[in-house]
Amino acid sequence: MTLSYKQKIIIKFILILEFLINNQFILPFHMLISVIYKWLYFKSDKKLSKTNFLLDDIKLDFKHYYNLRQTGTALKNMNLVFICDGNRRWFKKNKDSFFNTYSDIKMIGLYKINEMVKYCYLEGCNSASFYVLGIRNLKRGGIVTEMIDYIKNIDVLDLPVKIRFYGNIELLKDEKLVSKIEEIERRSLNSDFNDKSFKVNLFFVYNYSDCDQDVNNKRLYFNDQVDMIIRTSGEKRLSDFLARQVSNGTAVEFIDTYWPDLQLSQLYLLGQKYLLEEVYLN
C-alpha cells in the first residue's frame, strides 16, 4: 500500500511523539508539566493512607471534578488499560532517595493508580483499568502483602464512580478480603455521588488463561471495550493479559518508564498518538 504525503507526515510526527514519551532525559520535564497540571486542576492531591480508598478526594470535591470532566477532551471516550509494571524495581532504586516524598513508599503503585484515575476522569475517559496483581505473582511477598492488607483494612465510604474487580480472588482463601471487595463494588454502585459515565476496573489475582474461559462468570470474564493497553517498565510482553482483546485490534503501547514514574503528560501524548493512528493510518 502506497502512503499519501499526509500519512508520511503523520508517521514522522508519531515517531517524534514516541521519542518524547520514552526518552528518559525528558522525564524531568514530564514531571514538571504534570505537577503544574495537578496544581491547576486537582482540587486536592490527597495522599492515600492505610484507611482511605481511591478517589476519596474526588468525592470530597465532586462538583469541581464533574464540571471539569464536561470540558475534558485529551482522552475523550477512550477505554484505557494499564499494566502497572516496575513497582519493585522502582522501590529498590528509590527507597533511600533524598527526593522521595512519600510517607509510605510501598504504596507508591497505589498512589499512581489514584493519580491516573483522576486524570482519566478529568480528560473524558469512559473507563480506566489496571492490571494490579497477576496469579503468577502471588508468591511474591512484600508489596503483594501490603496491597492485600490495604484492601482489607480500608474504610469504604460512598465512592464517586463505578469500581469493578476482576480475578480469581478465591485463590487467596481470605473471606475478609472477598467481603471487602464486594463492599467496595456495592458502595460504588449505590453512592449519591456516582457518575455512571466513568468506570474503574481493577484486575486482581488475574490472568487471561485462567480467567477468560467462563463467559457466565462475571468475576472472571472481562468483555468490555478496550482501545489501548499501556505497559510500563520497558518489558515488551502482555504477561498473559487480555490476549483476546489484543487479537481483536486493541492498540498496545510499551513504554520504558517504571509505573510509579509514569507522568500525566506522557499519558496525554500516548492518547494523541493513538488518535493520529486511528484517524489517519487505520
Half-sphere exposure at residue 105, Cβ-oriented, CA atoms within 13 angstroms: 16
Residues forming beta bridges with residue 254, ordered by sequence position: 231
Lowest mean pLDDT among 140-154, 158-172, 194-208, 222-236: 140-154
At position 169, the amino acid (one-letter code) is I
Q: Return the residue matching grid coordinates 486537582.
A: 42
**C-alpha grid cell for residue 146?**
501490603
Mean pLDDT within 158-183: 88
pLDDT at 262 over 60: yes
pLDDT at 93: 80
Closest to 108 measured CA to CA, from 118, 119, 100, 96: 100
The residue among 57 and 18 whose pLDDT is bigger is: 18
3-state SS class at 233: coil
Torsion of CA 265, 263, 42, 201, to 10 degrees: 110
pLDDT, mean over the chain:
86
**C-alpha grid cell for residue 186?**
456495592
Q: Say which CATH topology domain 59-263 has.
A: Undecaprenyl pyrophosphate synthetase (3.40.1180)
The pTM of the full predicted model, rounded to 2 decimals, is: 0.92
Closest to 205 measured CA to CA, from 165, 239, 233, 236: 165
pLDDT at 98: 44
| CA–CA gap between residue 109 and residue 100 (Å, rounded) | 14
- What is the maximum alpha-carbon separation in the chain? 60
Residues forming beta bridges with residue 253, ordered by sequence position: 230
Strand (E) or helix (H) holding 247? helix 243-247
pLDDT at 203: 95
Closest to 221 measured CA to CA, from 177, 179, 165: 165
pLDDT at 157 over 70: no
Per-residue pLDDT reduced to its tens digit, 112-123: 998 999 999 999
Residue 182 neighbours by CB distance under 10 Å: 13
Instruction: Report the share of the chain in percent with pLDDT over 70.
Output: 86
Q: How many residues does the chain have?
A: 282
What is the chain's alpha carbon radius of gyration, rounded to the nearest angstrom? 19
| CA–CA gap between residue 139 and residue 162 (Å, rounded) | 30
253: DSSP letter? E
Q: How would you classify residue 142: left for phi > 0, otherwise alpha for psi between -120 and 50, otherwise beta?
A: left
Mean pLDDT within 270-279: 95
